[in-house]
Amino acid sequence: MRVPFLSLQPQQELIREELEKGFKKVLDGSQYILGKEVEAFEQAYAEYSGTRHCIAVANGMDALTISLSVLGIGSGDEVIVPALTCAPTWMAVARTGATIVAGDVDEKTFNVTVDTVAPLASRKTKAIVLVNLYGRPADLERIVDFASSKNFFVVEDNAQGHGAAISGKKTGSVGHINATSFYPTKNLGALGDGGAITTNDDELGQKARSFRNYGSTARFQHEVIGINSRLDELQAAFLRLKLRHLDIWNEERRTLAHKIQRELIGVGDLFFPEDASSVYSVYHLLVATTQKRDSLRSFLQQQEIETDIHYPLPPHLQKAFARMGYASGSFPVTEKICHQILSLPLWPGMGEEHTNYLVDQVKRFFKK
Ligand SMILES: *Cc1c(COP(=O)(O)O)cnc(C)c1O
């Protein structure tokens, strides 16, 4: 049986007619940039996130770059980032001209902690970017407290965390300003590129709104040198329709992930990162580590089960960041995770035949 890593088809089929109606509405409306659909989506996503403001932008990396920019971050400033994340988190910091200061992650949670972050704080630290990686909330509250005591900002990279929560608060609402992506494979995905900034701070919200549109909020009046990073009407229409289903799809991801985990905990040396009881994870990815990652992966491939690796090479070992001079071994926990981690297939609409087959084949591999 073929098990794809991800299928967007069940979601699409469920709401195909709504999407087609959304398309027709935008087509007939003849306003394709910063119109009613973007405004309505911004309102809906702000409400969903529990924030005062949502500013829709072109993609996740822009959302991060703009968030850092409106905090006044640039050359001469330091920004702390986790070593374990995808390249755009680091690239956004680099784009502002600020210095990247990376921290290794914790072996159990796969995220930075106050302990790994504290030694990195300096007088130059302006912000920390916390990534809700794999849909699992970072240690947001403790790090916000720590950041406040040191007087720097917290920015959440919530590209993988739509709908996740910690102590009843949605991720993307805890940091001072927060960025997310609506890349098609994310939990809330557009049918193309998209992103958003969420914040409770009126001034930061206003600045971000201006920055994404050439530094302008009134026609032909430019307050700052901004960029063009606008979500288009069509994507806004699709996202607003899909947002109505997000909670159900997240619940489905959780049910499937919990079921697979229950079956596989204790099998071989498989380890699944654990969640604190205060945390609501949305399983953007279902990840496990094992020393036999590569052979497990090729065994599953032979059984037609697709898996993936997030991420095979951490940012500090990428050619793009070679100038920073990090050697192999700089972040041992991150590097170990990258050698051992495997993302298992998971998507809303995944059938029992798929999960059962996946579980059986993983068990078979470890029995050999
Ligand atoms: C997807 C992703 C991004 C980048 O988003 P784009 O919309 O592709 O620019 C940034 N950070 C994380 C953690 C992501 O998963």
- The preferred substitution site among 95, 160, 283 for testing ligand 1, maximizing ligand atoms within 8 Å of CB, is 160
**Confidence (pLDDT) at 366:** 98
Q: What is the CA(173)–ligand 1 centre distance, in A? A: 17
The verdict on pTM exceeding 0.75 is yes
3-state secondary structure of 181: strand
What residue's CA is closest to ligand 1, atom 6?
60
Question: Which atom of ligand 1 is the closest one to the Cα of 186?
Answer: 1
Residue 290 Cβ inside 6 Å of ligand 1? The answer reads no
Neighbour-count burial for 338-351, b at 16+ CB within 10 Å, e otherwise: bebbbbbbbbbbbe
d(CA 308, CA 115) in angstroms, rounded, equals 30
Q: What is the CA(356)–ligand 1 centre distance, in A? A: 31
Count of H helices and E strands in the chain? 11, 12
d(CA 85, CA 356) in angstroms, rounded, equals 30
What residue's CA is closest to ligand 1, atom 7?
60
Q: What is the CA(194)–ligand 1 centre distance, in A? A: 10
Residue 159 Cβ inside 6 Å of ligand 1? The answer reads yes
What residue's CA is closest to ligand 1, atom 12?
159
pLDDT in tens, the chain (368 residues): 999 999 999 999 999 999 999 999 999 999 999 999 999 999 999 999 999 999 999 999 999 999 999 999 999 999 999 999 999 999 999 999 999 999 999 999 999 999 999 999 999 999 999 999 999 999 999 999 999 999 999 999 999 999 999 999 999 999 999 999 999 999 999 999 999 999 999 999 999 999 999 999 999 999 999 999 999 999 999 999 999 999 999 999 999 999 999 999 999 999 999 888 999 999 999 999 999 999 999 999 999 999 999 999 999 999 999 999 999 999 999 999 999 999 999 999 999 999 999 999 999 999 98
**Confidence (pLDDT) at 368:** 86
